[in-house]
Structure 1
Amino acid sequence: MRPYILAESNWKQIKEQEVALAILPWGATEAHNFHLPYATDVIEADHIAAEAARIAWEKGAKVMVLPTIPFGVNTGQADIKLDINLNPSTQLAILRDIVEVLHRQNIHKLLIVNSHGGNDFKPILRELGLRFPEMLLVSSNWFQLPDKKEYFDEKGDHADEMETSLLLYLRPELVLPLEEAGEGTERKSKIAGIREGWAWSERQWSMVTADTGIGNPKAATKEKGEKFFRAVTGKMAELYIQLVNVDIQDRYE
């Protein structure tokens, strides 16, 4: 039993346990090329949030990891079979209820560990911050740290070399042989502003990729996955510790 994982804890333990920071991993359930499981984002969120919590806990940080939310925003994948969508308004409703519970119980710090590119918590936390001004509400995207170019050869952002390497390390029994994976070729927008990144439109998944992947996974290895996992969880643990220690009313230099 890990005392920093709520799902493994019991009331005898919890009723006297200090919680300075609640951590909410948030994933998605969606196709990841031909070779990775639908729960890829959930598996990554589970392991990264928990390992970072272990590191932080062993350094004295009173953190608690809540159960991972397994569904995310998949509005651009409506025609991909069993890609499960939560609308942003649904995410707001879920988070509002969770924040209300934490606030009522005097747990005033919440970190979302986001594991899915389609989730965007900034506008949601802006709205909740007005309703709960005593709370410190933070979101993080683990896949944005560290620089992937230091660890992987191929670019990508979905079922790519990075995600495939992580799953080869975390849950290799769920990964098909890489010769069965698609190449993750992405079709680019015909609109220059979108290609250049200063304009945005949601990608219609079945139009941009034939195998649901974006990024060639063929160079993935377990060893790359472990190295990247250690780097990510080390940095995430630092964030946990800083959030535990910061004074909500005095958090700017």
Structure 2
Amino acid sequence: MITEWARLTTKEIEAIKKEQSLVIVPIGATEQHGAHLPVGTDSIILGNLLAELTKRVDFPEYEVLLAPLLPVGKSNEHMDFSGTLSFSTMTLYHMIDDLVQGISRHGFGKILLMNSHGGNTDLLNVLSRDLRIKHNVEVFVFDWWFTSFWNDILSQVQQSGDYGVFHACELETSLMLHFCPELVDMSKAVDEFPDHQLTDHEHVSIKGPIVPGWKTQDVSLHGVIGAPTLASAEKGRQFVDYAVQKLNQMLLEVIETNYTKLGSH
């Protein structure tokens, strides 16, 4: 089953069979998303997606706990735009470190950091190895921005081009139109793409292989990278259905992976 950590009592958490459990730590952000989306978009999407997962998916032989969602991440690239909140790299590092230390102290040994903001990605990948070494736990990182997570569904429904899905884009706007349409103002949505110097070169681009250290104002006038005008609530519904099914498969694989035991062979 999937349960919110905060809804359990201390005795209920104590009674959980720790060797048959997974703790998910959701990590979002509070940052500008253009003029058409709220600053809490990343956290709103992640929270609602986990709520859908909780309603639709069950793990009868395993206990999956959802730790409290961190609604602020590392978003200093967006600080030129009003409303953005950000922790520094080291502040977020230590916050997650402290959180994982508490989780591990209560006997849990398998933890998944689930991230919905691209600015957190590099930090989480570095931190995961430090957490494995420091706290002797299995740590997994799931990031839906710089992985292939959305590829299959995007190949079916995406109408925008290569940079149409990046930030406040066709994907995020569609998800928000599905989850919280009252927070979306499509009359203010504009499509924006980075300058060709950062997209068309063979080697230097914001997708790599050589990546410049950019802030949002370097690549966008209004804080959008992508094509939100092509978003729709119907696409959002399709994205959610896909994500729930995909996450179910992914979590089962995490549950069945016990990589810290491999070194003892």
TM-score of the superposed pair, with normalisation by structure 1:
0.88
Q: Which residue of 2 is the match for residue 129 of structure 1?
A: 132
Q: Pick the aligned partner of 1:237 from 229, 248, 251.
A: 248
Match of 1:146 among 143, 150, 154: 150
C-alpha distance in structure 1 between counterparts of 2:198 and 2:229, whole Å: 27
2:81 is aligned with 1:116 = no
C-alpha separation in 2, matches of 1:34 and 1:132: 42
Name the counterpart of 2:184.
Answer: 175
- Contact kept? 1:22, 1:64, Cα under 8 Å: yes
Matched residue, 1:86:
87
Corresponding residue SS for 1:25: strand
Cα distance, 1:189–1:126 mapped onto 2, change above 3 Å: farther
Q: Deviations over 1:2-54 (max 9, x none)?
A: 96112333446444344511001111111111111101000111122333344
In structure 2, what is the equivalent of residue 164 of structure 1? 173
For structure 1, which segment, 14-23 or 182-191, has the greater mean C-alpha deviation from structure 2 after superposition?
A: 182-191
1:4 is aligned with what amino acid? T
RMSD, aligned CA: 2.3
Q: Retained in 1: the 8 A contact 2:2–2:64? A: no
Structure 1 pair 179–106 and aligned structure 2 pair: CA distance change class (3 A): same
Kindly tell me: are residues 112 and 49 of structure 1, through their superposed partners in 2, closer, same or farther at Cα, counting changes over 3 Å? Answer: farther
Deviation at 1:55, TM superposition (A): 4.1
Higher relative contact order (CA 8 A, sep 6+): 1
**One-letter amino acid of the counterpart of residue 6, structure 2:** A
Evaluate the alpha carbon distance shift between residue 51 and residue 61 of structure 1 in structure 2; reply closer, same or farther with a 3 A threshold. farther
Q: Check conservation: 1:23, 1:49, Cα contact below 8 A.
A: no
Contact 2:165-2:225 within 8 A present in 1 as well: yes
- Kept in 1, the 8 Å contact 2:28–2:43? The answer is yes
Structure 1: where are the runs of 5+ without partners? none
Counterpart position of 1:47: 48
Q: 1:142 to 1:233 in 2, by over 3 A?
A: farther
In structure 1, how many angstroms separate the alpha carbons of the residues matched to 2:87 and 2:36?
24
Which AA in structure 1 matches 2:138? L
What is the CA-CA distance between 1:57 and the residue it aligns to? 2.7
AA matched with 2:113 = I
1:71 CA drift (Å):
1.0
2:117, 2:67 → 1: CA distance?
Answer: 17
* CA contact 2:14–2:106 (8 Å) conserved in 1: no
* Partners of 1:6 and 1:65 within 8 A in 2: yes
Q: Is the 8 A contact 1:53 1:64 kept in 2?
A: no
Partner of 2:215: 204
CA apart distance, 1:141: 1.3
Partner of 1:6: 5
Q: Are the aligned partners of 2:38 and 2:183 in contact in 1 as well (CA < 8 Å)?
A: yes
* Structure 2: tracts of 5 or more residues without a match: none
Secondary structure (helix, strand or coil) at the match of 1:199 reads coil
**Does the C-alpha gap of structure 1 residues 151 and 8 become closer, same or farther in structure 2, counting only changes over 3 Å?**
farther
Query: Which residue, out of 226, 233, 237, partners 1:226?
Result: 237
Q: Measure, in 1, the Cα distance between the counterparts of 2:35 and 2:90.
A: 30
**Paired letter, 2:3:** Y
Question: Deviations 1:160-193 (Å, cap 9, x if unpaired)?
Answer: 11111100111111111x2221222332446943
Distance 1:245-1:54 versus aligned 2 partners, 3 A rule? farther
Query: Could you list the per-position Cα deviations for residues 180-212 of structure 1 after superposition, in whole angstroms to 9, with x for gaps in the alignment?
Result: 212223324469432272211222212311110
